[in-house]
Structure 1
Amino acid sequence: MSDGLNEARAMRVAEIISDFRNLQHYIAQINASPSAEEYYLEGYALLRQCAVEAQSVLAQPFSASAASPRGDSEMEKQQLRS
């Protein structure tokens, strides 16, 4: 299976994870200042909820407990398939 696709897939997964983390940073930094009558509108409530959730995701450390410490390629393939 040395067709070069594994490296390309690994790079793509790394790019997607990086993009997700960047989006989390941008969402966590959103600071909307609605007026008093707009504060409880659905859009602003959702925006505040997303910002709080993004901050909590960024505050949690990454845990790679499912990864194989030996670098077992078959186990890694199985994880990517599921």
Structure 2
Amino acid sequence: MGLMDTLKAKLAPAKEKVSDLAQQHGGKIEHGLEKAAKAVDSRTKGKYSDKIETGTGKAKEALDRIAHKDDGGTPPPPASPPPAA
């Protein structure tokens, strides 16, 4: 058994635990992401709003991938961005 196989075998329980926690607390995690993004945006006075929004969206997509990994289905498609004003 190679080093990578050994590592994968040892990390499998942690991966499952993270997935379970993401499924159980996804709403709270998303709320925290939104709250953090809003705080950073206000401190930077909106200078980096587009980058903050992009990063928040990617974090939410990653959360969805982690949470839906074990259910055998594919995660929902990402929401379309709001129309530019």
TM-score, reference length from structure 1: 0.38
The structure richer in helix per residue is 2
Q: Which has the larger radius of gyration?
A: 1
TM-score, reference length from structure 2: 0.37
The one of the two structures with greater contact order (alpha-carbon pairs below 8 A, sep at least 6) is 2
